[in-house]
Amino acid sequence: MKTIEVDLDERSYPIYIGKSLLSDQRLFEKHVTSSQVMIITNETVAPLYLEIVEKRLTNVNYETLILPDGETSKSLDSLNQVITRLMEKKYSRTCILIALGGGVIGDLTGFAAACYQRGVTFIQIPTTLLAQVDSSVGGKTAVNHALGKNMIGAFYQPCAVLADTEVLSTLPEREFSAGLAEVIKYGIIRDKEFYDWLEENIESIMARDDDALEYTIERSCINKAEVVAEDERESGIRATLNLGHTFGHAIETALNYKEWLHGEAIGCGMLMAADLSMRLGLMDQTKVERIKTILERAKLPTQIHKDVTLEQMLENMKVDKKSRDGVLYLILLNDIGKAVVTSDYTEEALKETINHFLARK
């Protein structure tokens, strides 16, 4: 088992990574320090992993809330369900919530923990690759509003993250690839050595080889923990974690959050950011080709979905969260391993990039 510390003074916490962590009684005893516990999960994950977690909760009164699968569970309605159940069962401020699932369950549970009685403890047990390398770490919690994704939320850190690599064996292939997009992201924005390693080992990772997976998650979490420790509330360097997100969100919005998974849109968006960097003379073409190749090997799309138009892309990019005083800042690349946040690009180059990636011209 590997342990990485997210260093945030009194809000610091460990991320445990390894095989069979869900069977590790001592880990649970160390972190489940309340006798009032609520596990929040969904109807896909529950039949797979709820029982094994329940077995770890000896001498504890626990409740289980099983929500429907899907992004729709990241809603104010679900938040209300969690809070109602906690109140009905008379849970006090010392209770602990456990998020057992992917990013949807993690984001919702984290936000419920931030809200209930002004903040209770929560543990992340991420079960998708995306959640293990990204969403369970760093304390961004949220639910969606009808008018926008992640619009109601808080920065609120868990007390521990338990990433058991074994649970990834049941993850569908597309979901696994979507998580890999976020892994590749760390290499591209700040860790060239990791990027080189990923190029050499992508087939072993895709085959879900234990050692390759453990190292992939560990190195991703080290990168995320370093960035979060430096800039918890995204006033600077944390924005680089959004590489490809402005392009990706524009694609997701145009597709009404259907057709493509988040990680698939981010993968394509990262390549578009690399292409724009090349057009602006920041990075050479061979590096853009390298990024395209690794995304293809990870079975991620490298062209915008055929139903999306240039006009939709431009319109959707305008309302991005990284827009400040009407100026849209983008994450671009000076090199593989060197991301920059900048508004120094031309509309013409941006349109050329979008046009280049449109499947429907």
- Distance of alpha carbon 1 from alpha carbon 44, whole angstroms: 26
Q: What is the closest distance, in whole angstroms, from the C-beta atom of residue 238 to ligand GLY in the complex? A: 5
Residues 77-106 that bind ligand GLY (CB under 6 A): none
Choice between 56 and 249, CB closer to ligand GLY: 249
* Closest CB to ligand NAD: residue number: 103
| Interface residue list for ligand NAD (CB under 6 A) | 42, 44-45, 48, 69, 71, 74, 101-105, 107, 127-128, 130-131, 134-135, 138, 140, 150, 167, 170-171, 175, 178, 262
Q: From the list ligand NAD, ligand GLY, none, which binds 167 (C-beta under 5 to 8 Å, kind-based)?
A: ligand NAD
Q: Contact between 138 and ligand GLY (CB under 6 A)?
A: yes
Catalytic residues: 118, 140, 182, 224, 234, 238, 242, 245, 249, 262
Which residue of 74, 238, 279, 287 would you call a contact of ligand GLY, by CB under 6 A? 238
Q: What is the closest distance, in whole angstroms, from the C-beta atom of residue 246 to ligand GLY in the complex? A: 13
Q: Contact between 140 and ligand GLY (CB under 6 A)?
A: yes
Q: Contact between 134 and ligand GLY (CB under 6 A)?
A: yes
Q: What is the closest distance, in whole angstroms, from the C-beta atom of residue 354 to ligand GLY in the complex? A: 23
Q: Contact between 179 and ligand GLY (CB under 6 A)?
A: no
Choice between 102 and 244, CB closer to ligand NAD: 102
Q: What is the closest distance, in whole angstroms, from the C-beta atom of residue 131 to ligand GLY in the complex? A: 11
The DSSP code for 242 is: G
**Piece of the chain touching ligand GLY by CB under 6 A; list 30-38, 132-140, 298-306, 311-319:** 132-140
Q: What is the 3-state secondary structure (H, E, C) of the chain?
A: CEEEEECCHHHCEEEEEECCHHHCHHHHHHHCCCCEEEEEEECCCHHHHHHHHHHHCCCCEEEEEEECCCHHHCCHHHHHHHHHHHHHCCCCCCCEEEEEECHHHHHHHHHHHHHHHHCCEEEEEECCHHHHHHHCCCCEEEEEECCEEEEEEEECCCCEEEEEHHHHHHCCHHHHHHHHHHHHHHHHHHCHHHHHHHHHHHHHHHCCCHHHHHHHHHHHHHHHHHHHHHCCCCCCHHHHHHCCHHHHHHHHHHCCCCCCCHHHHHHHHHHHHHHHHHHCCCCCHHHHHHHHHHHHHCCCCCCECCCCCHHHHHHHHHCCCCEECCEECEEEEEECCEEEEECCCCHHHHHHHHHHHECCC
What would you report as the CA-atom Rg of the chain, rounded to the nearest whole angstrom?
Answer: 20
Instruction: With beta carbons less than 8 A apart as the criterion, state whether 53 and 167 touch.
Output: no
Choice between 257 and 312, CB closer to ligand GLY: 257
Q: What is the closest distance, in whole angstroms, from the C-beta atom of residue 50 to ligand GLY in the complex? A: 26
- Phi-psi domain of 15 (left: phi exceeds 0; alpha: psi -120 through 50; beta: other): beta
Q: From the list ligand NAD, ligand GLY, none, which binds 131 (C-beta under 5 to 8 Å, kind-based)?
A: ligand NAD
Q: What is the closest distance, in whole angstroms, from the C-beta atom of residue 140 to ligand GLY in the complex? A: 5
Q: From the list ligand NAD, ligand GLY, none, which binds 232 (C-beta under 5 to 8 Å, kind-based)?
A: none
Choice between 47 and 119, CB closer to ligand NAD: 47
Q: From the list ligand NAD, ligand GLY, none, which binds 238 (C-beta under 5 to 8 Å, kind-based)?
A: ligand GLY
Residues engaged in binding ligand GLY (CB under 6 A) = 134, 138, 140, 238, 241
